[in-house]
Amino acid sequence: YEYTIVEHGGLTFFTLDADYELEVTSSQDVPALTVETTFPDADPYFTNLSSMDNVSPSGFTLEWTGTSNGDVTINLLGAGAETIPTLSFTTANDGYHTFTANDLTGLQGPMIAVEMIYGTETPINATGYDSRSTIVVRTYTILQLSFTDDS
């Protein structure tokens, strides 16, 4: 892999909106391949809520920065859901989304996790690769919130 190195706390990160050349080593299943992809041009993160903030099951607005063209996927996971979203949808990456009481029906509290995914997908159009083969590059933002009691 060739990439721009950005170090933070001893970790190495990719750079937003940078091009990368990826090399796939051949195996008995696929031939060797060199392909270029672009890392997402934005890294959305939440701005109006912090981890463990209280939100109402009657509805709340989620705001974020790092807007760009395209969509984001937002997953809400209720208590006990572990890795299976209770609610999952795609919306414009425009910086906000309002959840209604109807949207939140079925979420089990007292805690919920909010996961936002933004990314790019590049098809691999090369001999020896299935037409569904892609390179998917994503950024994730996760927030844990507490449901308040409206009564």
Bridge-partner residues for 121, per DSSP?
136
Nearest to 88 by CA among 78, 75, 97, 98: 75
Task: Locate all alpha helices (DSSP H) within 5-143, ordered by sequence.
Answer: 101-104
Q: How many residues does the chain have?
A: 151
Say if residue 8's pLDDT is above 60.
Answer: no
Residue 86 CB contacts under 8 Å (≥ 6 apart), including other chains: 76, 77, 78, 106, 107, 108
**Each residue of 56-67: pLDDT tens digit?**
989 999 999 888
pLDDT band at 3 (very low <50, low <70, confident <90, very high): very low
In this predicted structure, what is the pLDDT of residue 151? 46
